[in-house]
Amino acid sequence: MSNPPHEAPALTAHEEHPGWRAFLNTRMLICVFLGFTSGLPLFTLVYLVQAWLRSEGVNLKEIGLFALIQFPYTWKFIWAPLMDRYVPRFPGWRPGRRRGWMLVTQILVAGAIGTLGFVSPKESIWTVAALTALVAFFGASQDIVIDAYRRELLSDTQQGLGNAVHVNAYKIAALVPGSLALILSDHLPWSTVFIVTAAFMLPGMVMTLVVREPAVHGTPPRNLREAIVQPFKEFIQRDGWRGALFVLGFIFLYKLGDTMATTLSTSFFLDIGFSRTQIGVIAKTTAFGASLAGGIVGGIWLMKIGIGRGLWIFGILQMVSTLGFAWLAHLGPASPGLAAIYDIAVWLSQGTTKLLALVGIDWAVQLEPRSVALALVYGFETFATGLTMAAFTAYIASTTDPRYTATQFALFTSLASVPRTLASAASGYVVAQIGWFDYFIVCTALAVPGMVLLLRIAPWRTQS
Alpha-carbon radius of gyration of the chain: 23
What is the rounded distance in angstroms from the CA atom of residue 287 to the CA atom of residue 294? 10
Q: Does residue 118 sit in the same domain as residue 190?
A: yes
Is the confidence at residue 180, as pLDDT, over 70?
A: yes
pLDDT at 146: 95
User: Of the candidates 181, 200, 216, which is a domain's last residue?
Assistant: 216
Kindly report the pTM of this predicted structure: 0.78
Contact call for residues 296 and 389 (beta carbons, < 8 A):
no
Residues 322 and 196 placed together within one structural domain of the fold: no
Range of the domain at 343: 241-462
Do 167 and 271 share a structural domain? no
pLDDT at position 132 is 92
Distance between CA 345 and CA 371 in Å, rounded? 9
| End residue of a domain, out of 216, 233, 265 | 216
Cβ distance 127 to 119 under 8 Å?
yes
The answer to whether residue 24 sits within a structural domain is: yes
For residue 287, is it within any domain? yes
Same domain, 250 and 158: no
In a domain, 112, yes or no: yes
300 shares a domain with 168: no
In this structure, the answer to whether residues 128 and 249 fall within a common structural domain is no
- Last residue of one domain, picked from the residues 166, 181, 216: 216
Q: What is the pLDDT of residues 24-59, one digit of tens each?
A: 688 889 999 999 999 999 999 888 888 888 888 877
**Is the domain of 329 the same as that of 382?**
yes
Whichever domain contains 105, its CATH number is: 1.20.1250.20
* Co-location of 206 and 320 in the same domain: no
Evaluate whether residue 221 is within a structural domain.
Answer: no
Count CB neighbours of 36 within 10 A: 24
Clarify whether residues 95 and 160 are in a common domain.
yes
Does residue 228 sit within a domain? no
pLDDT band at 418 (very low <50, low <70, confident <90, very high): confident
Please report whether residue 312 resides in a domain.
Answer: yes
Given phi > 0 = left and psi -120 to 50 = alpha, else beta, which region is 196?
alpha
- If one counts the domains in the chain, the total is 2
66 plus 207 within the same structural domain: yes
Task: Give the range among 115-129, 346-360, 392-406 with minimum mean pLDDT.
Answer: 346-360
Q: How many CB atoms lie within 10 A of CB 392?
A: 27
pLDDT at position 55 is: 82
Contact 77, 410 (CB under 8 A): yes
The answer to whether residue 132 sits within a structural domain is: yes
Task: Give the ranges where 365-461 is alpha helix by DSSP (H).
Answer: 369-399, 405-434, 436-446, 448-457
Of the chain, the percentage scoring pLDDT greater than 90 comes to: 29
Indicate whether 171 and 290 sit together in one domain: no
**4 falls within a domain:** no
Q: ∠ CA 34-39-42 to the nearest 5 degrees?
A: 145
Are 199 and 69 in contact by the 8 Å Cβ rule? The answer is no
Would you call 402 helix, strand, or coil by DSSP? helix
- Residue 112's closest CA among 186, 58, 48, 54? 48
Maximum average pLDDT range among 270-279, 298-307, 335-344, 345-354: 298-307
Together in a domain, 277 and 400 = yes
CA distance 166 to 164: 5
Q: CB 14: neighbour CB atoms within 10 A?
A: 13
Residue 15's CB: how many other CB atoms inside 10 A? Answer: 6
The mean pLDDT value of the chain amounts to: 82
Question: How confident is the model over 253-276, as pLDDT tens digits?
Answer: 999 888 888 877 877 888 888 777
Please return the burial class of 449, using the count of CB atoms within 10 Å of its CB with bins 0-12, 13-18 and 19+.
middle
380-411: per-residue pLDDT in tens?
Answer: 999 999 999 989 988 998 888 877 888 888 88
**307 and 391 in contact (C-beta within 8 Å)?**
yes
